[in-house]
Structure 1
């Protein structure tokens, strides 16, 4: 594909905005709805925003790092952009869909490409019940929280919580506790990607908890149901030799 019409989006930081201005002068700027491809300039936060914004459009997203982390981004360069786009390798990433019910009975829905996190809101630890496919697997977990991560998100918050790194194309999800107190030795589980995970707050009023799906947070939650969204995906492009699969693999050998 020629990628004649490019749409640039940038994070609200000076280096990303300056880069977008220069690239628009070199390559032009098409409206996002008419573009052949989206070029995102920033860090992983901006990339996640672009993935959410354009996942229903079918447009591929090529990120260039003008932020801090950039795990989902390619190296920045103003030169030969269209040639890089033509040579780039495509990765499709499916999000998780979340349905959370708060203490008033209101239902909140969101999707997450990295993880859905269940977190305590106060000094009180959370007490949670964990079910997989409607079967209770852990009657009571006392902890700071728990998260369910996709393979793409397994190197983010999940890794910081000592969860496993999952190969990007693996049909798996990582269920990882955050500072578990009881059972102290439980370190989480690797579950099939088609499983439905239900997390219930056992003492919701006394021990309030929040749920976060990427950048969407809902507080005072009683129950959350999480499953892979099989109807939607984001299409991401990476330079040859720097695919997301390669980055996930390489991350396991970093110290």
Structure 2
């Protein structure tokens, strides 16, 4: 068997049952097929391996893949997600299917698709005190003592709305099936160049979700918030907010590149994972 010259990076969530055993089993299998194999654990620095990696296999679940997408955001490394968690919406491969299609992936016969990411910045008008990419969403949640909060939203020079409620979710198309959907927001086809702005429990019948283009930047001013109000990136990175803070969100320079499962479409995944579009009159 001839090897591909690809440098493969494996990012694994070793906290999940069975992941360490799979990595130990797969590492020699990968080594027979690619020139170099590096392994990193989720939550740790990926180091210099990320600089030369040409493909990243992510072993864990959707949360692990989101972490990997942020860690590799500046490099544009294609991500192949292997689901060893629960839902597996983004991490769409099983171990068996990954092995079946791996040679086609490294041989370029299965091309990655691009999914827009966000760049999130928090500041008070001066230098930013927090910056991060986001693959799924940036959510502002009211927090303790759980009173409603006021958020003023602008895009470019235009006022979008003043939201009064429990918070706000700004979602990428890829993330529209996560917190955004749970909050009543729309599902977006994942290759769209757009974002969904979805209020969380708004105290108004007129404040509904809206889909806008990904530029110019969205600016959210925390006009009145609680002591526990926080920005949460991808459901994983919390950032405490202060009154007067401005959260600026715009399209990231690099997209997330996902290796699609050749046997699954977006709509079949919606139906199989989330029961979307299923008729209540049809069983099975």
TM-score normalized by the length of structure 1? 0.86
**Structure 1 regions of 5+ residues with no counterpart?**
none
Return the alpha-carbon distance in structure 2 between the equivalents of residues 187 and 98 of structure 1: 23
Show the 5 A alignment for 1:173-184: 173-181=195-203, 183-184=204-205
Which of 37, 41, 57 in structure 2 is aligned with 1:30? Answer: 37
Structure 2 contact 155–219 (Cα < 8 Å) conserved: yes
Within a 5 Å distance, the mapping from 1:80-99 to structure 2 comes to 80-85=100-105, 86=107, 87-99=109-121
- 8 Å Cα contact 2:73-2:133 kept in structure 1: no
Range with bigger deviation, 92-101 or 144-153: 92-101
Structure 2 unaligned blocks of 5 or more: 39-48, 280-284
Pairwise CA distance, 1:131: 1.4
| 1:18 lines up with 2:36 in the alignment | no
For 1:156 and 1:173, the matched residues in 2 are separated by 13
- Kept after mapping to 1: 8 A contact 2:116/2:191: no
Aligned-pair CA distance for 1:25: 2.6
**Distance in 1 of aligned mates of 2:127 and 2:100:** 53
Deviations 1:44-98, CA, capped at 9 Å, x for gaps: 0111111122232232121111111211113323443533524434111221111
Aligned partner (choices 8, 11, 20) of residue 10 of structure 2: 8
TM-score after normalising by structure 2: 0.78
What SS does the aligned partner of 1:92 have? strand
Deviation at 1:247, TM superposition (A): 3.6
Instruction: State the alpha-carbon separation in 1 of the partners of residues 209 and 222 from structure 2.
Output: 17
Contact in 2 for aligned 1:40/1:46 (Cα 8 Å): yes
1:103-252 residue pairs with structure 2 within 5 A? 107-122=129-144, 123-138=146-161, 140-181=162-203, 183-204=204-225, 209-214=229-234, 215-221=236-242, 222-229=245-252, 231-244=253-266, 247=269, 252=276
Worse overlay, 240-249 or 140-149: 240-249
> Could you tell me how far apart the structure 1 residues matched to 2:260 and 2:209 are?
31
Matched, 1:72 2:72: no
Report the CA distance shift for 1:4/1:129 in structure 2 as closer, same or farther (over 3 A): closer
Supply the RMSD in Å over aligned alpha carbons. Answer: 2.7
Deviation at 1:36, TM superposition (A): 3.5
Equivalent pairs, count: 251
